[in-house]
């Protein structure tokens, strides 16, 4: 009976030690990440900054904030500001520092912007030309889903590719019906 109790205690202590060492390895890089969307900064006149808190090696939660640095609108819908809180679940994660690899992200987006439209009309009978622009402000809230892949180096540098989108829910006049979420992001875990 003593042998069984001793074997059980040794097994429990080994399991406890392995879990402790796994958590220590997981925490070596930190639980905070800052990332910038390089694609958005290079292709458009906007900047998006992301913060993510690593909940466990399989999940994280964070928020992204995006600002349009230009007065020009893209395809008529100028998004001036967007705030996007999100939750991520990581899959196929075999590295000890966790929260990396393939992920699925659920998000909520709160956005505001300006709709700009140029119109021109000509009546050949009266020979009247009409032209001008319409500028309307909009505000929307939506939900979305994205897929992506995140790589984290041993010293904390991050490279991420993601794509997805969402649908706006309020049905505000002059607002777009959907939004794109994704990009090529670089950052650091600390």
β-bridge pairing 32-37 and 178-189: antiparallel
Q: Whole domain around residue 183: which residue ranges?
A: 31-189
68 lies in the same domain as 150? yes
pLDDT digits (tens, 9 = 90+) for 70-111: 766 555 558 899 999 999 999 987 666 688 999 999 999 999
Task: Note whether 67 and 115 are same-domain residues.
Answer: yes
* CATH code (residue 119): 2.40.160
> How do residues 11-46 score in pLDDT, each as one tens digit?
545 544 444 444 444 456 899 999 999 998 888 888
pTM: 0.76
Q: How far apart are CA 158 and CA 30, in angstroms?
A: 13
Overall number of domains in the chain: 2
Q: Are residues 54 and 141 in the same domain?
A: yes
Query: Token digits for 7?
Result: 């074997």
Residue 188 contacts residue 151 (beta carbons within 8 Å) = no
Q: Report the C-alpha gap between 52 and 123 in whole angstroms.
A: 56
- Answer yes or no: is pLDDT of 120 > 90: no
SS3 call for 106: strand
């Amino acid at each position: 009976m003593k042998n069984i109790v001793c074997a059980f205690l040794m097994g429990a202590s080994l399991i406890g030690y392995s879990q402790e060492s796994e958590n220590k390895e997981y925490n070596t890089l930190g639980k905070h990440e800052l990332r910038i969307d390089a694609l958005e900064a290079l292709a458009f006149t906007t900047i998006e900054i992301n913060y993510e808190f690593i909940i466990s090696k399989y999940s994280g939660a964070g928020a992204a904030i995006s600002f349009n640095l230009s007065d020009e609108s893209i395809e008529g819908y100028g998004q001036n500001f967007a705030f996007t809180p999100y939750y991520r679940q990581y899959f196929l994660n075999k590295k000890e520092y966790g929260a990396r690899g393939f992920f699925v992200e659920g998000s909520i987006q709160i956005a505001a912007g300006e709709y700009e439209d140029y119109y021109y009309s000509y009546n050949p009978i009266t020979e009247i030309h009409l032209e001008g622009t319409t500028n309307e402000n909009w505000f929307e809230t939506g939900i979305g889903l994205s897929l992506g892949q995140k790589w984290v180096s041993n010293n904390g540098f991050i490279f991420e590719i993601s794509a997805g989108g969402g649908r706006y829910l309020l049905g505000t006049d002059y607002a777009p019906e959907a939004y794109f979420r994704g990009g090529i992001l670089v950052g650091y875990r600390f």
